[in-house]
Structure 1
């Protein structure tokens, strides 16, 4: 069925055209119908026609990824393809029908002639290009932030889980140890322990704690042998289930003379006294473990604040080493696998930068994450900082991975280009990193890759 003049006039771009021009366009436009789910055009296809969406809705789809590129659907009456035709480029996205669609296909030559002869169409096409560019820029910035947030949250969840789980186990064990300590007083009273005996037992308990603090850490075999010897001595003293208290007493290097003195001072309450001392030693060790866990959690929170530059202004004086280290902390769950080695070759005399700290940390995250993925759990990751020409700050992140294949090396900075599987990468990492370095910080980002690995070099102007 032929397309009528009134159908074309409903398209905003053609609203100011007279009937004669519209009638000529209608004669040149071919009607095509698409079912829901069909592609009106595919990414990578030559831009041979200007598309007029006369009925239905269509959605831009990122090539090969199945990801929406726009928050809004294209709803008829509207048009598509102006940017590809005006820039003489292939379609960069697929347009998929989300409802049954009626599309008018106007040959590229007729559209370009129209743009050159009709001022209103030229203005409308340029305005549409600017709107599209702004939407894509906003999308890319949003994707950058979501990607960085995803890396941050995944790393933080993994890193926090270990100390949090350790703290939880420690608290449970600590409660048991404290219960033993608290019950000892009743056992002493029931056994008739006198004041002088109690004072001596307290002194022996303090001696045990002091010995434990000075004790050297033994290897597994020596520790096991000492624990077996302690179990035999406790069994000789009549302690029930001696293995339950042997480990902390043996670790504190308590000898037969100390055990005999406890038995002499406690009398019938000897087992209670030994369990009390063992519980005290355990509680002390658990308190140390709990402190280590909470310090680890505190350090992670500090790393997150450093990473995100929380509570700081948009631009500030930045030490690149702090940003690199906080990023390494966030990525710790990926670094603590296999035989991956991290080498830091830092020039601590580097000048500070006047920069957007959180954005630079996105750069370090993208570059380090790519390097770690390239190593696949084995190899060397080297981070080098140095002063470059004209006092610039240079950061190099090098891996000993297989390198970037020659056939894709020229495309690694293209938006949405990725070699990772669906759901594993957005294809925005390197493009985002270059945009932050070059556009936001007047720097440079270069990649050098061969069969020995890949080296990413960032050069930034210093504050001085």
Structure 2
């Protein structure tokens, strides 16, 4: 095996400015090794106690993210990896596997610590490698955090869109079936001989019922009782179509209404008129359902547009802080319903507007509210309370959940990058770091208070942006 040379080290960009005598010392205190493809250089949790200078070949580092094993980075020739001066890392966070036969130079931690005392330029070069590695890793993790959050929002949004879209499909199909019955119903209705004033009475009853907007919401017991009353009336008049009672109840029909219709159309005409009315009411209900579902889709699309602030520029603007919070709740509605979490809104709608970046603020609400939802996982009586008020020259938002709380000894760390109290794979520890950076960008403050059963984040923005 060919030993490393001064030229080999000089070919590595990071070490090009290091004096030759320091590089010679470096070579004298390490060893050249070759590692075959497929070899594991280290496992997750192994001591981080050696520095590698890659001369030939490639290796990859893999770690668990979001519950899955993923390739984090591929290390190529002329790279320096492993332990580096002043690094606080103690153990490896994943495993390293050779994917192309490697030739590398290896120096152990005690020699690197000695270099810190003896060789400034060599130490400086290794520290520069460490800072570059931290910067690249942080950037990648922040991107992963964004993609992870986007994935959760997309899954919930897809579910929320699927429900009204499916309702529209079902409603359109049922409406088509009802429309197909119109020619036969027309034949039956056309054969009726009803006086014009009687037809006007029937029309008035039908129109008043379909246009009524204050129909009371019935309990299951009330609905069953009223349906039984209509069925009894229909049975007494020789009508066996029980679907009529079910549909007529939706529009608030009573036995007295049926009596009025009966006076206008005695049997056998009553059966035809009620059949036609039933078909009309079904079509009215289906059109109403389709309209409501399409409106829900339109509302969701509008929320997405506002949430991402797609139609605005990138400068701060005066905005109503409640709009962003409500749009965030819409985006997270699927998770809220899935967790059976009750939302309590105590909004001071008279608050003045704040000057901010709407898209950035939505990231703040998303991260804090999403964390609260995760904290309430498994709870049967989860409550998420969001309160707003003016506090002197500040507009403040309080987001509180009744989850298990954050341990006292961890509360000072939760805003630190990469710190997370979630299980492996459920968070990267960057959500609250993002919150902190955005709030500082807006000259605001964020703090947390937590005891078991009550965790509250307080976010405040100055009314004067300066």
Query: How far apart, in 2, do the equivalents of 1:317 and 1:132 lie?
Result: 39
- Distance of aligned partners of 1:92 and 1:365 in 2 relative to their CA distance in 1, 3 Å threshold: farther
Query: How far apart, in 2, do the equivalents of 1:408 and 1:63 lie?
Result: 23
1:44 and 1:92 in contact (8 A); partners too:
yes
Residue number in structure 1 paired with 2:355:
354
Normalising by structure 1, what TM-score?
0.84
How far has the Cα of 1:400 moved from its partner?
1.3
Q: Secondary structure at the match of 2:80?
A: strand
Higher mean C-alpha deviation, range 341-350 or range 208-217: 208-217
Query: How far apart, in 1, do the equivalents of 2:157 and 2:177 lie?
Result: 31
How far has the Cα of 1:388 moved from its partner?
3.3
- Distance of aligned partners of 1:428 and 1:39 in 2 relative to their CA distance in 1, 3 Å threshold: farther
RMSD of equivalent CA atoms: 3.2
Residue number in structure 2 paired with 1:288:
288
Instruction: Determine which of 198, 208, 213 is the counterpart of 1:210.
Output: 208
1:385 and 1:395 in contact (8 A); partners too:
yes
Question: Which structure 2 segments of 5+ residues have no match?
Answer: none
Residue number in structure 1 paired with 2:318:
317
Residues 76-225 of structure 1 correspond to what in structure 2 (within 5 A)?
76-81=77-82, 84-86=84-86, 90=90, 93-94=93-94, 96-99=96-99, 100-106=101-107, 107-112=111-116, 115-117=119-121, 122=124, 124-125=125-126, 128-129=129-130, 131-189=132-190, 192-194=191-193, 197=195, 200-201=198-199, 203-211=201-209, 213-214=211-212, 216-225=216-225
How far has the Cα of 1:364 moved from its partner?
0.7
Residues 294-305 of structure 1 correspond to what in structure 2 (within 5 A)?
294-305=294-305
1:212 and 1:253 in contact (8 A); partners too:
no
How far has the Cα of 1:242 moved from its partner?
1.6
Residue number in structure 1 paired with 2:452:
451
Query: How far apart, in 2, do the equivalents of 1:202 and 1:283 lie?
Result: 21
Q: Secondary structure at the match of 1:336?
A: helix
Higher mean C-alpha deviation, range 377-386 or range 137-146: 137-146
- Deviation track 1:376-421 (CA, whole Å, cap 9, x = no partner) reads 24232221222335x1222221111111134544442333333434
Residue number in structure 2 paired with 1:333:
334
Residue number in structure 1 paired with 2:366:
365
Count matched residues: 449
Q: Secondary structure at the match of 1:147?
A: helix
- Distance of aligned partners of 1:449 and 1:353 in 2 relative to their CA distance in 1, 3 Å threshold: same
Q: Secondary structure at the match of 2:343?
A: strand
How far has the Cα of 1:323 moved from its partner?
0.9
How far has the Cα of 1:355 moved from its partner?
1.9
How far has the Cα of 1:30 moved from its partner?
2.5
2:63 and 2:70 in contact (8 A); partners too:
yes
Q: Which runs of 4+ in 1 moved over 6 A?
A: none
1:363 and 1:436 in contact (8 A); partners too:
yes
Q: Secondary structure at the match of 2:415?
A: coil
Residues 390-401 of structure 1 correspond to what in structure 2 (within 5 A)?
391-401=393-403
Q: Secondary structure at the match of 2:318?
A: strand
Question: Which structure 1 segments of 5+ residues have no match?
Answer: none
Higher helix share: 1
2:85 and 2:126 in contact (8 A); partners too:
no
Residue number in structure 2 paired with 1:263:
265
How far has the Cα of 1:353 moved from its partner?
2.4
Instruction: Determine which of 386, 389, 392 is the counterpart of 1:386.
Output: 389
Normalising by structure 2, what TM-score?
0.83
Query: How far apart, in 1, do the equivalents of 2:95 and 2:309 lie?
Result: 40
Residue number in structure 1 paired with 2:414:
412
1:51 and 1:81 in contact (8 A); partners too:
yes
Residue number in structure 1 paired with 2:76:
75
Query: How far apart, in 1, do the equivalents of 2:423 and 2:284 lie?
Result: 49
